[in-house]
């Protein structure tokens, strides 16, 4: 190939540049090795910002933070699509050019390769001993016997009048071709996956269920060819979630195992089956995977309003504030409370211990002594009907917060509540009860039809590149005359001569075996 290319580069350049000639020039330039090399560089270089600038698809929160902190910078990043490098136009341009170049390489090489496959080794040179590897020994063998021995060594052999020529190592080219084709295959598989696949995230609290529909997801990211009906119709219920923690030593508090107990219905009518969902062990239903990707606490509260009615009763998923102790921030909004709406800012401590200053903090991520600190209780209009999107982790917008009436705040904060304890709000406007602790998990569901094809192509690529790099093309020539055999060999692969020397010696040994008079 490199020789052909050299010829191509040295071919006389035509001065006249008609449209056809010009197109041909573009195609040749694009499919030349040098261009491939430069495009590979560009591909590597282009990936670098993808690891330095937060990517929208990986860390949306960090992207949002850049927008907040330095809007001008964010705008520039956005202009160059640096928040989504790997789906940007310029990155696509590089890899599409590279793959065009690749196709331009593969097609002529395949043709050459098919021709090569059928081609016989060339006739032996007049003096094989002048080749880089050679040996001479006395031999009674006929050309047919020599050919037979070489065939046993799995050479492709042709014979002539007093000579034998043999070649081996065709798998090298096969490997090279398959490797490059497999790369194309991987790209296509990824493309198909992003068109026809989808990804969704959902948070589920212990005791609750989930059914695989678009509406059930907190966040749903479909490919452009996905319709709502095409989702696999499975459902499940989260009966229990457990975490095992290291309790001693330096790594005290490190999670050792997460396990979610599910009751799964593969189809709406199917009987429920038990499934233990763990990290590294996703739930699979007909090609759709569900993964356990996060967890946290969801304490259960009951709020009684000023009129004595239960205005809220349920588990509240809390946001993790500190991972090592699972100290979590919770927000309880009670829009149904009468006479005015109620809101609470709370902190959940899974293992509450008193500090010297009278405050409390969590000392361990496991649920050993769960308590809830009331950071603030408010009454007034929570502004939930404003039509603006509401965050479950924020009590209200800052300007709404200002208008709320603080009931409990600052120094008036009471002692943390243990399970079963309650806090009576001043002025008889209501009561907050801490009734129990549940846990929540976040799940990711994935459907990617390109997954298996990508794996098959990737496996092909590995095997093929190993063949391509490990195998060398080599030729052996033998001339027999007057009881003497002259053997010469050469390898057509650069940089592997040292290894061939040994193989050549072995070949010579095989050919001269049974002969006593080895020179």
* DSSP three-state, residue 311: strand
122 and 463 in contact (C-beta within 8 Å)?
Answer: no
Give which of another protein, ligand HEM, none residue 102 binds (C-beta under 5 to 8 Å, depending on kind). Answer: ligand HEM
Q: How many CB atoms lie within 10 A of CB 259?
A: 15
Could you tell me the smallest distance in angstroms from the CB atom of residue 458 to another protein? 5
Give which of another protein, ligand HEM, none residue 211 binds (C-beta under 5 to 8 Å, depending on kind). Answer: none
450 and 189 in contact (C-beta within 8 Å)?
Answer: yes
Could you tell me the smallest distance in angstroms from the CB atom of residue 3 to ligand HEM? 10
Contacts of 29 (CB under 8 A, 6+ apart): 35
Number of H helices, E strands in the chain: 11, 24
Could you tell me the smallest distance in angstroms from the CB atom of residue 500 to ligand HEM? 16
Q: Is the CB of 335 or the CB of 453 nearer to another protein?
A: 453
- DSSP secondary structure string, 419-479? TT-EEEPGGGSEEEEEEEEEEEEEEEEEE-TTHHHHHHHHHHHHHHHHHHHH---EEEEEE
Residue with tokens 């540049």: 17
Could you tell me the smallest distance in angstroms from the CB atom of residue 105 to ligand HEM? 3
Could you tell me the smallest distance in angstroms from the CB atom of residue 184 to ligand HEM? 8
Q: Is the CB of 250 or the CB of 399 nearer to another protein?
A: 250
Give which of another protein, ligand HEM, none residue 462 binds (C-beta under 5 to 8 Å, depending on kind). Answer: another protein
Give which of ligand HEM, another protein, none residue 440 binds (C-beta under 5 to 8 Å, depending on kind). Answer: none
Tokens of 331: 């927000």
Residue with tokens 């037979």: 148
Could you tell me the smallest distance in angstroms from the CB atom of residue 278 to another protein? 7
Give which of ligand HEM, another protein, none residue 362 binds (C-beta under 5 to 8 Å, depending on kind). Answer: none
Give which of ligand HEM, another protein, none residue 129 binds (C-beta under 5 to 8 Å, depending on kind). Answer: another protein
Q: Is the CB of 299 or the CB of 450 nearer to another protein?
A: 450
Distance CA 233, CA 216 (A): 12
Q: Is the CB of 48 or the CB of 272 nearer to ligand HEM?
A: 48
Could you tell me the smallest distance in angstroms from the CB atom of residue 150 to ligand HEM? 25
Could you tell me the smallest distance in angstroms from the CB atom of residue 394 to another protein? 25
Q: Is the CB of 188 or the CB of 465 nearer to ligand HEM?
A: 465
Closest CA to 237 of 211, 204, 263, 200: 263
Binding site for ligand HEM (CB under 6 A): 1, 31, 33, 36, 40, 98, 101-102, 105, 176, 180, 183, 465, 468-469
Give which of another protein, ligand HEM, none residue 105 binds (C-beta under 5 to 8 Å, depending on kind). Answer: ligand HEM
Could you tell me the smallest distance in angstroms from the CB atom of residue 116 to ligand HEM? 13
Give which of another protein, ligand HEM, none residue 139 binds (C-beta under 5 to 8 Å, depending on kind). Answer: none
From the number of C-beta atoms within 10 Å of its C-beta (0-12, 13-18, 19+), residue 232 rates as middle
* DSSP three-state, residue 500: helix
Q: Is the CB of 2 or the CB of 69 nearer to another protein?
A: 2
Give which of another protein, ligand HEM, none residue 101 binds (C-beta under 5 to 8 Å, depending on kind). Answer: ligand HEM
Give which of another protein, ligand HEM, none residue 130 binds (C-beta under 5 to 8 Å, depending on kind). Answer: another protein
328 and 317 in contact (C-beta within 8 Å)?
Answer: no
Could you tell me the smallest distance in angstroms from the CB atom of residue 106 to ligand HEM? 8
Distance CA 300, CA 440 (A): 12
Q: Is the CB of 425 or the CB of 454 nearer to another protein?
A: 454
Distance CA 428, CA 305 (A): 9
Q: Is the CB of 67 or the CB of 99 nearer to ligand HEM?
A: 99
Q: Is the CB of 107 or the CB of 279 nearer to another protein?
A: 279
CA distances from 311 to 244, 314, 333, 495, 497 (A): 35, 10, 10, 80, 84
Q: Is the CB of 173 or the CB of 448 nearer to another protein?
A: 448
Closest CA to 104 of 43, 38, 176, 180: 180
């Amino acid at each position: 190939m490199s020789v052909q290319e050299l010829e191509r580069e040295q071919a006389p350049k035509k001065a006249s540049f008609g449209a056809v000639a010009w197109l041909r020039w573009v195609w040749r330039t694009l499919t030349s090795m040098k261009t491939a090399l430069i495009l590979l560089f560009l591909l590597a270089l282009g990936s670098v910002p993808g690891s330095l600038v937060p990517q929208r698809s990986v860390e949306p929160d960090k992207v949002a933070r850049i927008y907040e902190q330095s809007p001008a910078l964010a705008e520039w990043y956005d202009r160059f699509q640096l928040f989504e490098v790997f789906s940007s136009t310029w990155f696509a341009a590089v890899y599409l050019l590279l793959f065009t170049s690749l196709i331009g390489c593969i097609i002529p090489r395949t043709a050459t390769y098919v021709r090569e496959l059928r081609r016989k080794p060339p006739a032996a040179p007049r003096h094989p001993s002048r080749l880089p590897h050679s040996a001479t020994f006395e031999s009674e063998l006929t050309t047919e016997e020599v050919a037979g021995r070489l065939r046993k060594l799995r050479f492709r052999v042709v014979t002539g009048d007093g000579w034998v020529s043999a070649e081996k190592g065709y798998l090298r080219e096969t490997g090279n071709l398959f490797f490059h084709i497999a790369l194309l295959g991987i790209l296509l598989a990824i493309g198909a996956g992003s068109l026809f696949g989808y990804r969704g995230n959902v948070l589920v609290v212990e005791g609750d269920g989930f059914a695989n529909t678009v509406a059930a997801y907190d966040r749903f990211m479909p490919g452009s060819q996905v319709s709502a009906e095409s989702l696999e119709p499975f459902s499940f219920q989260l009966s229990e979630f457990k975490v095992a923690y290291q309790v001693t030593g330096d790594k005290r508090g490190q999670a050792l195992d997460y396990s979610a107990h599910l009751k799964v219905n593969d189809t709406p009518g199917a009987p429920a089956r038990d499934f233990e969902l763990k990290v590294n062990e996703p739930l699979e239903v007909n090609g759709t995977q569900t993964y356990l990707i996060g967890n946290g606490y969801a304490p259960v509260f009951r709020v009684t309003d000023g009129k004595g009615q239960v205005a809220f009763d349920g588990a509240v998923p809390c946001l993790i504030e500190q991972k090592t102790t699972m100290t979590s921030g919770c927000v309880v909004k009670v829009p149904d409370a009468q006479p005015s709406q109620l809101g609470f800012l709370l902190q959940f401590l899974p293992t509450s211990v008193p500090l010297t200053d009278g405050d409390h903090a969590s000392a361990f991520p496991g649920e050993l002594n769960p308590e809830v600190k009331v950071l603030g209780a408010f009454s007034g209009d929570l502004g939930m009907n404003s039509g603006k999107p509401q965050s479950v982790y924020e009590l209200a917008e800052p300007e709404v917060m200002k208008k709320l009436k603080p009931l409990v705040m600052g120094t008036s904060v009471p002692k943390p509540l243990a399970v079963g304890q309650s806090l009576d709000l001043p002025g008889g406007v209501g009561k907050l009860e801490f009734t129990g602790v549940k846990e929540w998990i976040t799940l990711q569901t994935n459907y990617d039809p390109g997954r298996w094809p990508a794996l098959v192509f990737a496996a092909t690529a590995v095997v093929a590149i190993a063949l391509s790099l490990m195998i060398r093309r080599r030729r052996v020539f033998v001339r027999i005359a007057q009881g003497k055999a002259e053997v010469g060999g050469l390898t057509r692969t650069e940089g592997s001569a040292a290894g061939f020397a040994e193989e050549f010696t072995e070949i010579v040994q095989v050919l001269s075996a049974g002969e006593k008079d080895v020179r």
